[in-house]
Amino acid sequence: MATEVRQYDDPVIRPANHFAGARDHAAPQDRLKAIREAAQRIRAEMLDGEAVPYYASFDLVRVPYPRRYALKDACTVPTPYVHILNRMFVVQFQSEAGLKTMLVSPSDYRRNAETPFFRSMSEGMGALRTFLEPYMAPELGTVDTWLAQIGIRPDRVDYITFDHLHTQDLRRWLGVEDGPAFFPNAKLLVMRQEWESAKALLPPQRQWYCPDGIAGIDARKVILLDEDVFLGDGVALIQTPGHTEGNHSIVVRTPEGLFVTSENGVGADSYAPSRSHIPGLQKYVKTTGIDVVLNSNTLERGLDQYISMIQEREIAGPSPRNGDFYNVVTSSELTSYWMFPGIRPTFAFGPVSFGTPQGIAS
């Protein structure tokens, strides 16, 4: 039975209609053109506003990820895996209801390890599992330890959101059946399509969703979104389907312009492969004309994902840190790692931090 949740019963959330109808054109080129034009409008509007008071990323865990998924058909290095860095973002923004705190991609990665794909990979190590796992998937910090370090209590978190729900187990964060929740006052912001998909998966999707990861969560703690929205001042959640049907991107106004976060791509090279030094990517662009490299483990909606990646980079604009690349700070970023030689990102953001957390515990 579908979960019934009232939408926007919250003064912080308001619809954003910049992309309304842009994907309705029959011709794919017309869709892309409309998306590009709308991206420039929302970009200009958000850049005209103030930066959020606090925005920072926190490294959680590095995980092996098949190269054929991370870089699709573009990379010519024969290594079977690359390393991606999973991270959380803490965003504080002003609103009519005062200062709000939102966590982006607060992954409970120890529970997330039950995701079938990663469970199978772990079991495939056999007797070497205990020895190899600390090297294959080194832990760098947890959601709770990072929040304690910066002084934000769990009850001060107002929202959590994920660009999509692959691998996520949300039960500890939101609680189930009147049980305790680590974030007692937080609500999940999620696109309705992503929520409904996660409850009724087909076999091609099932390998990437944590079993029962959203089972039993109180519907009152979930805000389902059917459209792009603004959150207070300086934050937007924009529908960017492709990697999953209900994928969305998090857009934040920072002192370095607009930062855009999702996992449609796995790093800066994916959004500007013509400027990448990773072997094969420039040739891929010249040979195919494809100028973004899709994160392709599921390819639920490939053409939409291609358009969405261009949408994300158009909103983000060039990075002040390296003008050859875009201000797209992916939720899982491609990194170099000694266990998987031969692939090194041309440009990576690494840790990002602006401002000082407000309303922290004394």
CA angle (159 as vertex; 208, 198 as ends), nearest 5? 25
- Give the pLDDT mean for 279-295: 97
All structural domains of the chain: 13-342 (3.60.15.10)
Judged against a pLDDT cut of 60, whether residue 6 lies above it is answered with no
The pLDDT assigned to 120 comes to 80
Please indicate, yes or no, whether the overall pTM of this predicted structure exceeds 0.85. Answer: yes
CA distances to 36, 175, 254, 261, 336 from 270, rounded to whole Å, are 18, 36, 22, 13, 15
Burial status of residue 4 (CB atoms within 10 A of its CB: 0-12, 13-18, 19 or more):
exposed
The pLDDT assigned to 360 comes to 72
Judged against a pLDDT cut of 60, whether residue 2 lies above it is answered with no
Mean of the per-residue pLDDT values of the chain: 93
The pLDDT assigned to 326 comes to 98
Judged against a pLDDT cut of 80, whether residue 133 lies above it is answered with no
SS3 for 291?
coil
Residue 106 C-beta-side C-alpha neighbours within 13 Å: 28
Percent helix, strand, coil in the chain, to 5, is: 30, 25, 45
The pLDDT assigned to 110 comes to 84
Q: With bands split at pLDDT 50, 70 and 90, how would you rate the model's confidence at 131?
A: low
Alpha helices in the chain (DSSP H): 28-47, 67-70, 109-112, 116-123, 129-136, 143-150, 171-174, 192-199, 203-206, 268-271, 281-288, 302-316
Phi-psi region of 342 (alpha: psi -120 to 50; beta: other; left: phi over 0): left
